[in-house]
Amino acid sequence: MSADIATAVPRANPDAASAARTPTGAAGTGTTTTSGLLPRINGPGDLRRLPPGRLPELAGEIRRFLVDKVSATGGHLGPNLGAVELSIALHRVFASPRDAIVFDTGHQAYVHKILTGRQGGFDRLRQAGGLSGYPSRAESVHDIVENSHASTALSYADGLARAFQLRGHTDRHVVAVIGDGALTGGLALEAVNNLGAAPGRPAIIVLNDNGRSYAPTVGGLASHLAALRRSGRGSGASSPRPDGPNVFESLGLSYLGPVDGHDIDALEGALRQARALRRPVVVHAVTVKGKGYGPAENDRADHMHGIGVLDPATGRPRDAAGAAPPSWTSLFADEMTVIGAAHPGVVAITAAMPGPTGLAEFATRFPDRFFDVGIAEQHAVACAAGLALNGMHPIVAMYATFCNRAFDQALMDVALHRLPVTFVLDRAGITGPDGPSHHGMWDLVLLGMIPGLRIAAPRDATRLRELLHEAVGHDGGPTVVRYPKANAGPDIAAPRRLGGPDGVDVLSHTGDQALLVAVGPLAGPCVAAATQLRQHGVGVTVVDPRWVTPVSPVLVELAAAHHLVVTAEDGLRTGGVGTAIAAACADAGLTTPVRALGLPREFVGHGERARLLAAAGLDHRSITASVLEAVRLGVSGRPAPSPARGAWPVGGWS
């Protein structure tokens, strides 16, 4: 942890320090509300000076603010509506940022942002240059960490508490706010195991229990929490109850609760009691996801967890200008039911996200072959290995960014055993408004190094269906099918395929100066670039490898027949598909230069997907410019490739 949490900010005015870090476009603390209590809250100090009797009024204003702002920009609505009173109580009892408050998962931190001087930023929530949808250290000293992958806060809290103890900061407190869904993650349980073993090290775990993550929380721990909610017994003592301790007490933590998570007085009392214990303690707060907004409270399909622009009066999406093309997720959802009917050995696994990953309909149609394991990606993949060992073909559907967490299981539990497990990675590449933690830009590099694993990147709806069936039909090892958070758009036809049924598609051929290798959804920009390049007198061949890893021998032969290779991928520019193609060409003894276009090796901020791709040089104009630059550098002046180096691999052009 960097030093500024150890020194914090001067105790005299932490609110002013918060405003100093507000991002461009989010400055100020004003709001469209011109009367009431909320405009007076410019930081936690203002909140603590408010009379307790006015707090329910403030909570109502915050909920109206959230519905108004988030319905206009999109974002996480349900989780924040359920955390209003809890956030108020936290900032009244604890002195942030001197006391470290860590939110897990960070999408429940909107109210925290409102209370720490960032109301004015909500007009540009999750837009480029505006307020992040997650905690952001660049925005405020009150944002201790930028966590938005679940189950991490308790480990942060353990480390922060250890550091406070080592540095002699005995008057400072560490608070971790975690949902019951995130508590199903293995990392959270590892942290609880460590926190419970150190009774002299204070750390407060606020369990925000609404019985849901995206979907209802599953597993034995969820059943245990439900039993605690039903019992309604919470003495606040650390000694076991007459009928035995609960799981937290058994692991060495004190337990307070359950407490009504929408009763500010009760919450403040429990939090003050927890603070006074000076030991690891769980405060079990029971809340309602979407509290105070009918469409969100009654939402059982998780549509209000993360929303787009909607009509706040009805909770329904605002009318679009026309029917949008189907999303990649919906296409996968439809095809999964077809695959399930055709392949009785196919099973589906999700990590607490059946709806967002497109598995909800499969779960309805084939309930005995669908498994939700909670927010536990590592377990999901190792469990898939066990299923595959016993003759099933698991399809593990998750966001690309969350697959990072299961790299070791994919490598050592699946690939080492050459097991037929298919990973379907949604939100691959640039996702847009969720920012650096959610861009799925690492998968091609991480998974591309796994021996025996094949990665497919469909360019359109037809290829998605085609590649899914090819993946399910492959029993020689693991496969991956990846696609972005976007609408699929029209199909892009291929005049011919080279190398057989699972070979390389040729999308356009205007000459042999450059071979343009398009990865998945970048096929459209590459085909458009080819048209522009022809107008500049540069002839190119555009190909879609379909299976991008390992590199097809056909691509190497094509590279030998061109003066230049340019690859375009919505993953990291270094270490991805372009790097693999360059290595394959070098191994074959080719001198054809390879220029890789892709995302920079840095954390990309939040913003509109198309704009972020353009900023990375991955729109058709930028691709055109990159090829022209290479040509101007003299690549096109090289002698034409000789037949001995390999011309077209299958019979030339007709």
Instruction: Catalogue the active-site residues.
Output: 289, 377, 405
Structure tokens at 239: 């000694």
- Rounded distance between C-alpha atoms, residue 121 and residue 30, angstroms: 9
What angle is formed at CA 151 by the lines to CA 150 and CA 156, rounded to 5 degrees? Answer: 115
Which residue type, as a one-letter code, is found at position 106?
G
- Rounded distance between C-alpha atoms, residue 258 and residue 246, angstroms: 12
Q: Could you tell me which residues are beta bridge partners of residue 581?
A: none
Structure tokens at 498: 């080279």
Identify whether 105 is preceded by a cis peptide bond (ω within 30 of 0).
Answer: yes
Name the phi and psi angles at 610, rounded to 5.
-60, -40
179 touches 105 (CB < 8 A)? yes
Structure tokens at 35: 């009367």
- Rounded distance between C-alpha atoms, residue 208 and residue 77, angstroms: 16
- Rounded distance between C-alpha atoms, residue 355 and residue 358, angstroms: 5
Q: Could you tell me which residues are beta bridge partners of residue 547?
A: 456
In the DSSP assignment, the letter for residue 558 is: H
Taking alpha carbons only, the member of 239, 258, 257, 259 closest to residue 249 is 239
Specify the 3-state DSSP secondary structure of 308: coil
Flag whether 107 is marked binding: yes
Q: How far is CA 397 from CA 238, 348, 355, 426, 480, in A?
A: 41, 7, 11, 7, 10
Count CB neighbours of 36 within 10 A: 14
Bridge pairing between strands 540-544 and 504-509: antiparallel
Count CB neighbours of 137 within 10 A: 16
Bridge pairing between strands 393-399 and 422-426: parallel
**CB neighbour class for 90 (10 Å; exposed up to 12, middle 13-18, buried from 19):** buried
Bridge pairing between strands 203-209 and 174-179: parallel
Structure tokens at 485: 């958070």
Bridge pairing between strands 454-456 and 479-482: parallel
Flag whether 284 is marked binding: no
Flag whether 598 is marked binding: no
Structure tokens at 225: 């929490």
CA torsion, ordered 89, 94, 98, 104, to nearest 10 deg: -50
180 touches 210 (CB < 8 A)? yes
Flag whether 470 is marked binding: no
In the DSSP assignment, the letter for residue 325 is: P
- Rounded distance between C-alpha atoms, residue 499 and residue 650, angstroms: 7
555 touches 584 (CB < 8 A)? yes
Flag whether 180 is marked binding: yes
Count CB neighbours of 218 within 10 A: 18
Distance of CA 521 to the CA centre of its chain: 19
- Rounded distance between C-alpha atoms, residue 363 and residue 348, angstroms: 8
Flag whether 148 is marked binding: yes
Name the phi and psi angles at 494, rounded to 5.
-120, 115
Flag whether 57 is marked binding: no
Q: Tokens 């929303």 correspond to what residue?
A: 307
Flag whether 176 is marked binding: no
Specify the 3-state DSSP secondary structure of 191: helix
Give the torsion sign (CA, 240, 243, 248, 250).
positive
Binding residues for thiamine diphosphate, as ranges, are 107, 148-150, 181-182, 210, 293, 377
Binding residues, as ranges, are 107, 148-150, 180-182, 210, 293, 377
Binding residues for Mg(2+), as ranges, are 180, 210
